[in-house]
A and B are shown apart, each in its own frame.
Chain A
Amino acid sequence: MESVPKPNKRMPVSAMLDRKIVIPAIRASFAKLNPRLMVKNPVMFVVEIVAALTTVIFLRDVLTGGVGLGFTFQIILWLWFTVLFANFAEAVAEGRGKAQAESLRKTRTESQAKLLTGVGQAFKLVPGTSLKVGDVVLVEAGDTIPSDGEVTEGVASVNEAAITGESAPVIRESGGDRSAVTGGTQVLSDWIRVRITAAQGSTFIDRMIKLVEGAERQKTPNEIALNILLAGLTIIFVFATVTIPSYAAYAGGSISVVVLVALFVTLIPTTIGALLSAIGIAGMDRLVRFNVLAMSGRAVEAAGDVDTLLLDKTGTITLGNRQATSFRPVRGVTEQELADAAQLASLADETPEGRSIVVLAKEKYGIRGRDMAELGATFIPFTAQTRMSGVDAGGSSVRKGAVDAMLNYVGGGTPLAVASGNTVRTIQPMALSDVGREIQSIADDIAKAGGTPLAVARDGKLLGVIQLKDIVKGGIRERFAELRRMGIRTVMITGDNPMTAAAIAAEAGVDDFLAQATPEDKLKLIRDEQAKGKLVAMCGDGTNDAPALAQADVGVAMNTGTQAAREAGNMVDLDSNPTKLIEVVEIGKQLLMTRGALTTFSIANDVAKYFAIIPAMFLAFYPQLNVLNVMNLSSPQSAILSAIIFNALVIIALIPLALKGVAYRAVGAGALLRRNLLIYGLGGIVIPFIGIKAIDLVVTALHLA
């Protein structure tokens, strides 16, 4: 049984700081000092300004021969380090994406395209880059598809390893839900005609490259709000520090600019200011590692907020195929007889259902495989008209099929005109024979339990019913329980009738289900949930999913799906695994949590910094204030220096956390808050006391101050 393990694609720290990333990142840290780039990050921009300012003052003092230059120099050095460390954090986060973009770029080969001229198969060779939207090209075995498009004619196997990393070829054909092709992928066999849907520079691969590089990174709404908060705090601390010289003058003392700057820089939220963009980039990167591409950071944030998950039953909650689980004979027929007939009817049936019947017959009743040719049997294949299949052998005929179709076949009743392979049919009871009624009642039982009945008849006589069952994926129930603890409601979407849907929903443990769902029903469900203020996530692949994907707050399109679906969604899953929606939500939550945790940590840090700097600053004229020197730092200079060193080093120390993200646990908001407040809030208050003291010991031992 296929189970749903929690994928673990978190990178080890060592891989994160590998040389290939670190060395260019160091170079980038200096390049990012350009004020035009820095201004995007208000907190660090302010640090850069004051660092530059104090550097100018320092140079003046050097020329005029000021005192305490060694101390001033060290402070300035650490101010610049603070800015560089912030740039480094961002550069490392970007570096990981760049490496990925590089490998993508290699696939963008300069190919020739066979542009169809509109007359039969005639084409002319043009450079792939000259193609326009709406052009139709012919792609044959061995050719690279020149740009994104829709298959208009033909079937071909395509190697999409360039984007999915999966080397097994996939089938792409016109019509249906497998018609989208991606530029840069290669046709392995046959030929297709492709209508180009994306201009050069805006193809899927182009967008992917930009996304993973972070080149087009826009600040997300929450990030903007957080930046406002940080800017506001910075302004408050401007007030708190610029008023100090006046207070000091009143007390008959004076305070040097460099000390004020040191106090200011340690108070403003540099830690989160430095790591904020790295957190955002790393969040997108985590999705990419999961082979999910988010078209915007906003979508990742929305994923964290999702209240309702819409999940397709087939492939997500249940395994794609139903399996036979029991044989239910009518009175007067033994299970063995029924199993024998069912196995015979399924011998040539290559569908997974058919094979599962043969397997069940062998495992439970020891009925060995038989050779069709030996029996001289002819196979009667399934058709949409007869809705049954079977075998004719030696004058005997065996059939299996949908219950109503079979009842009709043996002349037992008049089926109502409801057409669908897996719905229960209501047969007018008056027209049924006793056996027919018995078959009908068994079928009803099976449907109620979430199964699908298949009736079996030999020579026009009904023998019983095969129970086919949807197999709920292992571990999925636990995942849903986890989602419930996160506060997320799961809704199963299925084409099954309500009775079957209810049974499977109960077995899988989803909160709700939408049975006999049409695309319109799906769209309506999303709108209804949104009207209640909820955010909805779903995944889909078909063209008829496109409206719902566009309407959902988080719409994950399967990469195997149609171009329309891929355009409508705001994420694309390259592996086309709908269960991943759950991980997407977790990544979104992790991103938001990391931001919150580091903001809290950053602000809580200020308490200790005050206790380090305030007594040191005023000691010259109010020696009594040494009582506040609770860390017992050795000298005013060393106290100030230690605080600013701590402030810079903590950025470096937290880069791995910013990139990896704070671990998410599905334990409910209250418990999560308690835990994080304890670690990042209380920890944020306590850690700098220890850190600054330790640095002070080192600074003193090295006679730096």
Chain B
Amino acid sequence: MTVLGWFQIILFCVVIVALAKPLGWYMTRVFNGEKTFLSPVLRPIEAGIYWFSGVDEKREQHWLTYTVAMLLFHVGGFLIIYGVMRLQAILPFNPAGQGAVAEDLSFNTAISFITNTNWQNYGGESTISYLVQMLGLTHQNFLSAATGIALAVALIRGFSRASTRTVGNFWVDVTRCTLYVLLPICIVYTLFLVSQGMPQTLGDYVEATTLEGARQTIAVGPVASQVAIKMLGTNGGGFFNANAAHPFENPTALSNFVQMLSIFALGAALTNVFGRMVGNQRQGWAILAVMGVLFVAGVAITYWAEANGTSTLQALGLVGGNMEGKEVRFGIVASSLFAVITTAASCGAVNAMHDSFTAIGGMIPLINMQLGEIIVGGVGAGLYGMLLFVVLAIFVAGLMVGRTPEYVGKKIEAREVKMAMLAILVLPLMYLGWTAVGVVYPAAVASMANAGPHGFTEVLYAFTSATGNNGSAFAGLTGNTLFYNLTLASAMFVGRFFMIIPAMAIAGSLAAKKSIPASAGTLPTTGGLFVGLVVGVILIIGGLTFFPALALGPIVEHLAMNAGNLF
């Protein structure tokens, strides 16, 4: 570990915190339907969209209507992706002449993109056309991100409103989010990425002759536009198979730093939106602090593990940390930081191979995802996931002040606890359950690249990543098989929607409640005590679930490695 390394980590944190307030202010205005500096340009377009699609922007929806609208929207998204993948051979914008994508892979990919997971069982440049990349994937990158944010805003409205039946209008929220938040930032961001040397073209792949005289096909395409939204919307699906480790997808140290910032920017700003909407920004800062504590701890452990390398490598005479699977351009600190960020948020873009991390270094990304990706998290999804944990933490400990639990003026009662438990239950069911099948079912075992605990970790990582809608892969594992295409798709689907529906039910039930004014007897939810409490509940309730699995994966691998056993 170096001073410069820590400086980069601290700089990252400072910029994220600094961005949270202005972005939060702007987004709050957007979702409250107020005027912004972009309104003169965008308002006519927005009104046009409503007119064209017959949406009455003044009419708010009950939580159930809101949720059903969201689900219908995703059915449409699924059909488009599945359709264009199956039909890509006869559709335009296919200069490389890619053939139809297999049924199970198309299914997996369609689920993957509508759930904001962007798990890639396909190699972008070798399997799918520009049309699929743009119409299917980039398009869903926007909409699944906008959906996540819209849902988070609906839940925030549940907390901030009182005695009402509605939580907003899904169509309006998605439209405004895309138009006022995602698109403007992405346009500027894409131009920046192009300036860093990223391709943005609809032209053919480039033929090149290497110094040795060999002919080589260099894949290019509309890369920058897709990278912008894949980061900003925490989608993570790379244009290229190597994702952000590919020089065209992450050309410079600056592009790497900005990409990391863009993963966290909106998620962190949403905590500020929360604070503003519930009428006390400190509530938002407290949530961000919970995320920050867990994040910094994770970064410190991974950075420490990677910088110290392993006893085995040192025995071979290699000095310094573990550089296996890392881009020399980025080095240890930027790779460790990226790995923690991408798994803390549900991004899943990678600039290094997590499979090659040390056992402990690779365990942190795994834990980040198993905790439900609530450390900043996926845009929107991170906040509503975190709020579910807050509901539980408040319920357990809130009683200890001698009142029935309440949070930002809302009583937490049976219905909220039931829904929060339901949402938190499905996560271990998916990743522990499917892992249990995956490590013994012969057709699945064949996909493992490594034996022993490391192979175990690969499987656990894949299902965890899918359930958490992260999409990052531990590599090694061969995912494009019938078993994994279907099981991972089910994990992604359940991990997304079985969390959303209970969260929305909570939004509806909270919105209908009265708001209780705070008094000296109310549990304070803005101070360090609250932050510590939520961190503790997350680690204990979340952590206890997967401790046995971790013990059998990375922990035993680490201990075995120290004893000279490799897998």
Q: Do A and B come from one complex?
A: yes
Of B403, B522, B556, the residue contacting A625 (CB under 8 A) is B556
Asked, given contacts A239-B428, A243-B436, A670-B524, whether A228 binds B397 with beta carbons under 8 Å apart, the answer is no
Residues of B within 8 A of A247 (CB): 435-436, 439, 456, 548-549, 552
Give the nearest-CB partner of B460 in chain A.
A247
Within 8 A of A (CB), among B389-420: 392, 395-404, 409, 412-414, 416-418
Of A236, A239, A668, the residue contacting B521 (CB under 8 A) is A668
Contact B456 A593 (CB under 8 A): no
Interface centre among B396, B521, B546, B547 (most CB of A within 10 A): B521
Contact B546 A240 (CB under 8 A): yes
Asked, given contacts A304-B403, A625-B556, whether A596 binds B521 with beta carbons under 8 Å apart, the answer is no
Within 8 A of A (CB), among B530-567: 532-533, 536, 540-541, 544-549, 551-552, 555-556, 559-560, 563
Contact A236 B523 (CB under 8 A): no
Asked, given contacts A534-B517, A593-B402, whether A250 binds B439 with beta carbons under 8 Å apart, the answer is yes
Q: How far is the CB of B267 from chain A (nearest CB, A)?
A: 25
Residues of B within 8 A of A533 (CB): 162, 409, 514-517
Residue A225, interface by CB 8 Å: yes
Asked, given contacts A603-B541, A672-B402, whether A614 binds B519 with beta carbons under 8 Å apart, the answer is no
Contact B414 A240 (CB under 8 A): no
Q: How far is the CB of A540 from chain B (nearest CB, A)?
A: 24
Asked, given contacts A225-B395, A247-B435, A624-B560, whether A669 binds B522 with beta carbons under 8 Å apart, the answer is yes
Bound state CA distance, A228 and B417, in angstroms? 7
Residues of A within 8 A of B519 (CB): 307, 487-489
Residues of A within 8 A of B425 (CB): 232, 235-236, 239
Give the nearest-CB partner of A597 in chain B.
B400
Residue B433, interface by CB 8 Å: yes
Contact B541 A221 (CB under 8 A): no
**Could you mark each residue 340-377 of chain B with 1 if its beta carbon is under 8 Å from any beta carbon of chain A, else 0?**
00000000000000000000000000000000000000
Residues of A within 8 A of B544 (CB): 237, 240, 267, 606-607, 610
Asked, given contacts A243-B432, A305-B404, A534-B516, whether A673 binds B523 with beta carbons under 8 Å apart, the answer is yes
Residues of A within 8 A of B545 (CB): 236-237, 239-240
Bound state CA distance, A267 and B546, in angstroms? 12
Q: How far is the CB of A581 from chain B (nearest CB, A)?
A: 16
Contact B456 A251 (CB under 8 A): yes
Residues of B within 8 A of A593 (CB): 399-402
How many residues does chain B have at the interface if contact means C-beta atoms less than 8 Å apart? 65
Q: How far is the CB of B540 from chain A (nearest CB, A)?
A: 6
Q: How far is the CB of A66 from chain B (nearest CB, A)?
A: 25
Residues of B within 8 A of A487 (CB): 519-522
Residues of B within 8 A of A239 (CB): 425, 428-429, 432-433, 545
Give the nearest-CB partner of B414 in chain A.
A225
Residues of B within 8 A of A133 (CB): none
Contact B560 A599 (CB under 8 A): no
Residue A365, interface by CB 8 Å: no
Q: How far is the CB of B564 from chain A (nearest CB, A)?
A: 11
Contact A672 B547 (CB under 8 A): no
Give the nearest-CB partner of A224 in chain B.
B414
Within 8 A of B (CB), among A202-260: 221-222, 224-226, 228-229, 231-233, 235-237, 239-244, 246-251
Residues of B within 8 A of A485 (CB): 520
Of A287-295, A400-408, A413-421, A675-683, the stretch lying at the interface with chain B is: A675-683
Residue B14, interface by CB 8 Å: no
How many residues does chain A have at the interface if contact means C-beta atoms less than 8 Å apart? 72
Contact A677 B551 (CB under 8 A): no
**Could you mark each residue 492-522 of chain B with 1 if its beta carbon is under 8 Å from any beta carbon of chain A, else 0?**
0000000000000000000000111101111
Residues of B within 8 A of A664 (CB): 402
Of A614, A625, A672, the residue contacting B401 (CB under 8 A) is A672
Residues of A within 8 A of B533 (CB): 673, 677, 681
Residue B41, interface by CB 8 Å: no
Asked, given contacts A239-B432, A239-B433, A249-B440, whether A232 binds B421 with beta carbons under 8 Å apart, the answer is yes
Residue B424, interface by CB 8 Å: yes
Residue A11, interface by CB 8 Å: no
Residue A484, interface by CB 8 Å: yes
**Could you mark each residue 88-120 of chain A with 1 if its beta carbon is under 8 Å from any beta carbon of chain B, else 0?**
000000000000000000000000000000000
Give the nearest-CB partner of A535 in chain B.
B516
Contact B424 A606 (CB under 8 A): no
Contact B399 A669 (CB under 8 A): no
Residues of A within 8 A of B398 (CB): 596
Residue B38, interface by CB 8 Å: no
Of A305, A532, A597, the residue contacting B403 (CB under 8 A) is A305
Of A242, A486, A597, A670, the residue contacting B527 (CB under 8 A) is A670
Residue A627, interface by CB 8 Å: yes
Within 8 A of B (CB), among A323-346: none
Residues of B within 8 A of A237 (CB): 544-545
Residues of B within 8 A of A604 (CB): 540
Give the nearest-CB partner of A662 in chain B.
B400
Asked, given contacts A229-B421, A534-B517, A674-B529, whether A600 binds B523 with beta carbons under 8 Å apart, the answer is no
Contact B547 A610 (CB under 8 A): yes
Give the nearest-CB partner of A532 in chain B.
B517
Residue A696, interface by CB 8 Å: no
Contact B433 A243 (CB under 8 A): yes
Residues of A within 8 A of B400 (CB): 593, 596-597, 600, 672-673, 676-677, 680
Contact A486 B395 (CB under 8 A): no
Residue B422, interface by CB 8 Å: yes
Q: How far is the CB of A168 from chain B (nearest CB, A)?
A: 35
Bound state CA distance, A273 and B69, in angstroms? 40
Contact A673 B401 (CB under 8 A): yes
Residues of A within 8 A of B532 (CB): 677
Residue A372, interface by CB 8 Å: no
Bound state CA distance, A255 and B99, in angstroms? 49
Contact A229 B560 (CB under 8 A): no
**Could you mark each residue 136-174 of chain B with 1 if its beta carbon is under 8 Å from any beta carbon of chain A, else 0?**
000000000000000000000000001000000000000
Contact A246 B417 (CB under 8 A): no
Contact B392 A229 (CB under 8 A): yes
**Could you mark each residue 663-699 of chain A with 1 if its beta carbon is under 8 Å from any beta carbon of chain B, else 0?**
0100011101110110011000000000000000000
Bound state CA distance, A38 and B514, in angstroms? 36
Asked, given contacts A232-B424, A233-B541, A664-B402, whether A669 binds B435 with beta carbons under 8 Å apart, the answer is no
Q: How far is the CB of A224 from chain B (nearest CB, A)?
A: 5
Residues of B within 8 A of A172 (CB): none
Contact A246 B421 (CB under 8 A): no
Within 8 A of B (CB), among A611-664: 614, 618, 622, 624-625, 627-628, 664
Residue B437, interface by CB 8 Å: yes
Bound state CA distance, A49 and B279, in angstroms? 49
Q: How far is the CB of A76 from chain B (nearest CB, A)?
A: 22
Q: How far is the CB of A209 from chain B (nearest CB, A)?
A: 29
Given contacts A233-B541, A487-B519, A593-B400, 8 further A-B contacts (CB under 8 A): A243-B433, A533-B517, A534-B517, A588-B402, A596-B397, A600-B400, A603-B540, A677-B533
Closest 10 CB pairs of A and B: A487-B521, A596-B399, A589-B402, A232-B421, A487-B519, A624-B559, A487-B520, A246-B436, A596-B400, A250-B439
18 of the cross-chain contacts (CB-CB < 8 Å) are A232-B417, A236-B428, A240-B544, A243-B433, A246-B435, A247-B435, A247-B456, A251-B552, A304-B402, A486-B521, A487-B522, A532-B517, A596-B396, A614-B551, A622-B552, A625-B556, A664-B402, A673-B401
